[in-house]
Amino acid sequence: MKYSHALNLFLVAARGARRSSYTVLWYRQYIGRLIEFTNDANIQDISIEQLRLFFAFLSTSAVKYSSHPYRCRVDSGLSDVTILGIWQAVRALYNWLEENEYIERQQNVARRLSRPHVSRLSPKSVTNENLIKMLAAAKKFGEQSRRDYALLLFLLETGCRVGGLISLVLEDLNLSRGVAMVTEKGDKSRPVFFTAQTQKALRAWLKVRPPVGNFVFTTETGQQLTRWGLRQIVDRTKRRAGVVGKTNLHGWRHAFARLYIENGGDLATLSDLMGHSDVSVTKKSYLVFVQEQLKKKHSEYSPLLGLNDGIYVALSKGRRKKTEKAKNR
């Protein structure tokens, strides 16, 4: 069975399981790299050594953004995170083929692929300064700015994923209660919450929103926003604000998490608000923000702050005496 045929079967099953269109596209693009590398070989003919060569190629020679609509081609190998995503996609394909008896267990050579190492990086949160500048810039350019301002406020205050924002429909938005039901990652619905400032901005946008379609955030002609359309809004606002630095869409979700923790929120509640399947996912992603807050709290409430200078000096002398005795033994 050729990789291309296996991929088509796998994608049909993914759509049948109501995986999101973004996930299906992600599988197609990532497994497509393996198809290209092997010249669409038969799966049964590919050894574990050849798969390892493929992942070595991704690290050193693979091209980034070869057909990207907005980015220039880069010949420098893929990032750790992208390579991990390709590893997950390839493993998912092989495991599905084995589970559905298209290949034998011994032909599932992906089982023996080691998980790629990923450097531990802090979440790329948009900074407070850039958030303020971009929100201010979003308010300045005519009626369509009402959409951009409401959209960015909603994105920041709810922490929703891009798919949840662009698929939000009018009947799932309750302005008076400050709650919306977003559908993300295929068919998973969850409530997100917003306060008075976002309510006001949404009301202002809905007054001038094109009276067609059912989506809350639309184009000038009333069509549903796409991911690329949303990205263009953010990039345009960034230029108008004169902002430098990371402002990507997922960075707004990271900013929600960071600000929630900085304002005193806890990880367990944040996990629910972000729609994570388990609090361990939240902890793994945002523990760095919690640690920063703990350090600040420690500085404010350190046990030494409750001791006067005399006692502190006495304690220090006591430590020195013990050290000197230990040295003299």
Compute CA 319 distance to the chain's CA centroid, rounded to the nearest angstrom. Answer: 48
Quick check: 160 and 184 in contact, CB under 8 A?
yes
**Entry pTM:** 0.68
Buried b (16+ CB within 10 A) or exposed e, 224-242: bbeeeebbebbeebbebbe
Name which residue leads in pLDDT, 186 or 227: 227
Name which residue leads in pLDDT, 316 or 266: 266
Q: Rounded CA gap, 33 and 54, in Å?
A: 9
Percent of the chain with pLDDT over 70: 85
Q: Rounded CA gap, 126 and 278, in Å?
A: 24
Topology, domain 3-112: DNA polymerase; domain 1 (1.10.150)
In this structure, what token pair is assigned to residue 17?
Answer: 């399981």
pLDDT tens-digit profile of 98-117? 999 999 999 999 999 998 88
Of these ranges, 129-143, 166-180, 247-261, the one predicted with the greatest mean pLDDT is 166-180
What pLDDT does 245 receive? 83
Compute CA 172 distance to the chain's CA centroid, rounded to the nearest angstrom. Answer: 23
Q: Report residue 11's pLDDT band, with 50, 70 and 90 as the boundaries.
A: very high
What pLDDT does 70 receive? 47
Quick check: 219 and 148 in contact, CB under 8 A?
no
- Domain segments of the chain as ranges: 3-112, 128-263
What pLDDT does 75 receive? 55
Least confident of 133-142, 235-244, 286-295: 286-295
In this structure, what token pair is assigned to residue 30?
Answer: 């990532």
| 128-263 CATH pick, 1.20.1440.130, 2.60.40.10, 1.10.760.10, 1.10.443.10 | 1.10.443.10
Q: What is the CA radius of gyration of the chain?
A: 26
Average pLDDT over residues 186-190: 82
- CB proximity list for 178: less than 8 A, separation 6 or greater: 193, 194, 195, 196, 198, 199
pLDDT tens-digit profile of 54-82? 999 998 876 655 554 545 555 567 888 88
Q: Rounded CA gap, 219 and 202, in Å?
A: 15
What pLDDT does 209 receive? 93
Quick check: 172 and 180 in contact, CB under 8 A?
yes
The rounded mean pLDDT for the chain is 85
Name which residue leads in pLDDT, 283 or 13: 13
- Is the pLDDT score of 259 beyond 50? yes
